Amino acid sequence: MIRLLKNKEIYEQVVLELVPECREFLWIATADIKDLHVSSHGSFRPFLGVLADLVDRGVDVRLLHAKEPGPNFRKDFDLYPALLTGMERIICPRVHLKTLVADGRTAYLGSANLTGAGMGAKSPDRRNFESGIISDDPEMVSGIMEQFDEIWMGAMCDTCQRRDYCSDPIA
């Protein structure tokens, strides 16, 4: 199955459904990450709380992003001590892909950054125009995982030519 998602569908099907259902691992790559809040039991809470819940359940979470997030993200990050030791983060200034892999079985690939406007969490008048695909096709999921893993393991670091901008080189 491969489905096209637009705007609010990304938020509903990826952020609210796919992510919380992870059982083994979650890999997220995004160029930009902000203090995304998600609906939860009639109110809103930081998306980082959802990730902390996963970590508490034993799910391995990896976050690959291009730059250090702003102060609101860091403030919310500090509310969830499980993320400090239970979530792996790598910052790579070349990262521009937006992907999410859940348990090696389902993947999202699209244009949306992990922000409220990008993921469609904002009101209809304040969200970006985004699109992406969600798939459980093994070949597609495998390809997305391979690209993520190559970046994660530093396979491109030697030829990147951005080492001067890399705060914590992978390799």
CATH code assigned to 2-165: 3.30.870.10
Label the pairing between strands 60-65 and 25-30: parallel
Beta sheet of 87-91, edge-to-edge order: 2-6, 131-135, 106-110, 99-102, 25-30, 60-65, 87-91
How far apart (Å, rounded) are the C-alpha atoms in residues 45 and 104? Answer: 27
String of b and e for 11-20 (b: at least 16 CB within 10 Å)?
bbbbbbebbb
pLDDT score recorded for residue 64: 96
Query: Cβ(44)–Cβ(15) under 8 Å?
Result: no
- Over residues 126-136, the pLDDT tens digits come to 778 889 999 99
- Over residues 75-107, the pLDDT tens digits come to 999 999 999 999 999 999 899 999 999 999 999
Name the token pair of 59. 């799910």
- Of 97, 98, 92, whose CA–CA distance to 171 is shortest? 92
pLDDT score recorded for residue 152: 94
Q: Which residue has the higher pLDDT, 119 or 73?
A: 73
- Over residues 21-75, the pLDDT tens digits come to 999 999 999 998 888 888 877 888 999 999 999 999 999 999 999 988 888 889 9
Domains of the chain by residue range: 2-165
- Of 102, 99, 106, whose CA–CA distance to 136 is shortest? 106
CB atoms within 10 A of CB 126: 9
How far apart (Å, rounded) are the C-alpha atoms in residues 22 and 94? Answer: 27
> Which helix (H) or strand (E) element contains residue 40?
strand 37-40
- CA 121, 125, 129: angle at the middle one, nearest 5? 70
Tell me, what amino acid is at 10? I
Name the token pair of 153. 């393991």
